[in-house]
Structure 1
Amino acid sequence: MTPENEPPQRCPIDPLAAVRGPADPACDVFLTGTVFLDIVFTGLDSAPVRGTESWARGMGSSPGGVANMATALARLGLRTSLAAAFGDDKYGEYCWETLERGEGIDLSRSRTPAGWHSPVTVSMAYEGERTMVSHGHEAPPPAAEPTAGSVPEARSAVASLAPDRPQEWIADAAGAGVLLFADTGWDESGRWELAALSDLAHCEAFLPNAAEALRYTRTDDPRAAAHALAERVPLAVVTMGADGAYGVDARTGESAHVPAIVVDALDTTGAGDVFMAGFVTGSLAGWPLADRLALAGLTASLSVREFGGSLSAPGWAEIEAWWRHAQALTPAGAAPEGHPLVERYAFLAGLLPAATAAGPRRRAVPTLGFRG
């Protein structure tokens, strides 16, 4: 637990410094959703077998659910506001303290429903895959999710779209000039109809994964799916796992593909949320499409090297360390700019000289709330 007198960690870099003005809103990104407690087991040799006991070589716990993205955004220096439901228990207390005091996330619009316990997800990682088991109940009213007119003034917001479930705050936020970045989940109905995602019409960008994009567009190639989605939304990005990401800007006609960075993955929980955080950051900073995809892919790759979803998110200090390592990979006698990684991520050079370590980052730990 963070000591009572310890301030939240502050990001050493403001990626939006060049575009900020005195009349800008205090909030860069607004999110809403439910916070889970994530418990992750890694180092399993195989899937658990019925009637047997399996031992994992690694374990971590951290805030999950919408906390994954909120933490990733805050660690990249964006002023983040979260409206979420937290459990009225020790798990919820741990998650609240970790996000508000540990990460500096604004929770003034969040709440703790009396007598409501924290949703919990247990994730088991093995053979490059993961299996998850979750338990929880819907938070009782009044809902933590915002209503029309209750969204704070913000540069942007992230929305999770669900078929045939419009959210009135999305249209309200878009009408107020808030840029909406959207993702979606698996369509349990099996219909996969874009028309069912009615709030997509209010969004600046849509970032599904390849499996979702192919089903929604009835295409057989992620790039074709991205172009089809760009007919419905200004920015379409399809994430392709180990194959990287492909994006299309419908306004300019620009398209870009950025390969994934290969790392030894420990836990992939929350990697998609971290990707979204990187893309939002580059978008608000006004970067070219390829640079936005590159930062998003880099942050997602760095996150899977640690336990957990939220606390595995990298900050600029971790990005700087990776950048120094990439530059050191240049063959002897060759110009540094000749290495593919250095060429692709050269846009980082203007940001990273100002980076200074903000102290050791919180990481997922195998027990909750070590006693100080």
Structure 2
Amino acid sequence: MPDVLCLGETMAMFVPAEPGPPAEVTTWHRTVGGAESNVACHVAALGLRPAWVSAVGDDAFGTAVVSTIASFGVDVSGVTVDPERPTGLYVKERDASGSPVRYYRRGSAASGMAPALLDGLVLDGVRVVHTSGITPALSDSCLALMRRLMGAPRTFTLSFDLNWRAPLWTGRDPSVLRELASAADIVFVGADEAKLVWDVEEPARIRALLPAPATLVVKQGAAGATLVEGDTELFQPALTVDVVEPVGAGDAFAAGFLWATLAGWSPRRRLRAGHLRAATALRTHHDVGPSLPDAYVYAMLDASEAEWAAAYVTGESS
């Protein structure tokens, strides 16, 4: 039985294998990308037992997606293969200005997920189910799936990351994101995302919009993150990191925070665990990068404020 079950779409991802403007690149690396499976892979690296549930097409990309995620030690037995719909595609157009991304996921296998998917899941014994605001944007049936999951009686902690993707909501009503977030136990939201979706960005104002979740984590980019839980509101600065690319850092943060939460750690330790895991994604062009040394991680979890502020995580070591 997995400790953490992650539900959501993962796509075949292509990144340039050579420098230059995207229009001139002729060689690409094929890998995979998906918010929820990223969390599952990071959780596996942290020593927990994760599972990833989704749907892929009956094609080479779907086979590659499933085998790649399984290679991280993630249980993929809950992934279904759709004989009609294709696996979604995700392209990073890396250039000097950053990494614009393009999604080709309309009509994908994962967009065909529906509430019946939950009938085949055994959730007794699962400690955390992690989802995001991406899935309800994929289709009406995916929204119905999320509503059923959020509304069902549960014996696990339900984690929800807003994961705002504006292009996915064209022609759809994003107001449901507040409904879904309000039904979760742990909510992750970027301050910049909250500003775009709800026109608020301060942790206290986001909390006023989402009073129900037991735990609210507001990610504030390179500045840090704020935990709002009960009477506690705690800000923890982020580590200084030699950033290669920011894509995927939010998923890594969520994994680190969930790992620390399941360990029963203090609010500050949980936030630090999130930042430490996010650093592994910031140091690479891939969504899941090499882990920091365990000795460094545990030393930094209990470092003084001065030691934490002085830390610098490079692209090679810490």
The TM-score normalised by the length of structure 2 is 0.79
Identify if the C-alpha distance between structure 1 residues 256 and 42 changes in structure 2 by more than 3 Å, giving closer, same or farther. farther
Aligned with 1:87 (options 50, 57, 71): 57
- The residue that corresponds to 2:131 in the other structure is 159
Identify if the C-alpha distance between structure 1 residues 191 and 229 changes in structure 2 by more than 3 Å, giving closer, same or farther. farther
- CA–CA separation in structure 2 for the residues paired with 1:111 and 1:212: 31
Contact in 1 for aligned 2:87/2:108 (Cα 8 Å): no
Are 1:39 and 2:17 counterparts? no
- CA–CA separation in structure 2 for the residues paired with 1:30 and 1:75: 15
How many percent of aligned residue pairs carry the same amino acid?
A: 24
Are 1:269 and 2:243 counterparts? no
- Aligned counterparts, 1:98-113, within 5 A: 98-100=68-70, 102-113=71-82
- CA–CA separation in structure 1 for the residues paired with 2:250 and 2:284: 14
- CA–CA separation in structure 2 for the residues paired with 1:338 and 1:233: 29
Contact in 2 for aligned 1:31/1:159 (Cα 8 Å): yes
Amino acid at match of 1:129: G
Contact in 2 for aligned 1:230/1:248 (Cα 8 Å): no
Greater Rg over alpha carbons, structure: 1
Amino acid at match of 1:79: R
Contact in 1 for aligned 2:87/2:109 (Cα 8 Å): no
Relative contact order: is structure 1 or structure 2 higher (C-alpha 8 Å, sep ≥ 6)?
Answer: 1
Are 1:340 and 2:307 counterparts? yes
- CA–CA separation in structure 1 for the residues paired with 2:305 and 2:179: 46
Structure 1 unpaired stretches of 5+? 1-25, 328-335, 345-372
Amino acid at match of 2:280: L
- CA–CA separation in structure 2 for the residues paired with 1:270 and 1:204: 22
- CA–CA separation in structure 2 for the residues paired with 1:229 and 1:285: 28
Contact in 1 for aligned 2:256/2:274 (Cα 8 Å): yes
- Give the length in aligned residue pairs: 295
What's the C-alpha RMSD, in Å, of the aligned pairs? 3.4
Identify if the C-alpha distance between structure 1 residues 169 and 305 changes in structure 2 by more than 3 Å, giving closer, same or farther. same
More helix by share: 2
1:279 Cα deviation from its structure 2 partner: 1.1
More divergent stretch after superposition (206-215 vs 111-120): 111-120
- Aligned counterparts, 1:305-316, within 5 A: 305-309=283-287, 311-312=288-289, 314-315=290-291
- The residue that corresponds to 1:303 in the other structure is 281
The TM-score normalised by the length of structure 1 is 0.68
Identify if the C-alpha distance between structure 1 residues 214 and 125 changes in structure 2 by more than 3 Å, giving closer, same or farther. same
Aligned with 2:258 (options 242, 256, 280): 280
Amino acid at match of 2:127: R
- Aligned counterparts, 1:223-234, within 5 A: 223-229=203-209, 231-234=211-214
Amino acid at match of 1:133: R
Contact in 2 for aligned 1:261/1:301 (Cα 8 Å): yes
- The residue that corresponds to 1:125 in the other structure is 94
Identify if the C-alpha distance between structure 1 residues 131 and 337 changes in structure 2 by more than 3 Å, giving closer, same or farther. closer
- The residue that corresponds to 1:10 in the other structure is none
- CA–CA separation in structure 2 for the residues paired with 1:111 and 1:104: 18
- Aligned counterparts, 1:1-372, within 5 A: 26-41=1-16, 53=24, 60-65=29-34, 66-100=36-70, 102-127=71-96, 129-136=98-105, 137-139=107-109, 143=113, 146-147=117-118, 150-153=121-124, 154-161=126-133, 162=136, 165-166=143-144, 167=146, 168-172=148-152, 175-184=153-162, 185-186=164-165, 188=169, 197-219=178-200, 221-229=201-209, 231-249=211-229, 251=230, 253-309=231-287, 311-312=288-289, 314-315=290-291, 318-320=292-294, 322-323=296-297, 339-341=306-308
1:300 Cα deviation from its structure 2 partner: 0.7
1:95 Cα deviation from its structure 2 partner: 2.0
Q: Deviations over 1:19-56 (max 9, x none)?
A: xxxxxxx22111112221122238867x65xxx63589
Structure 2 unpaired stretches of 5+? 312-318
Amino acid at match of 1:147: L
Contact in 2 for aligned 1:33/1:144 (Cα 8 Å): no
Amino acid at match of 2:131: A
1:61 Cα deviation from its structure 2 partner: 3.6
- CA–CA separation in structure 2 for the residues paired with 1:321 and 1:339: 19
- CA–CA separation in structure 2 for the residues paired with 1:160 and 1:81: 15
- The residue that corresponds to 1:16 in the other structure is none
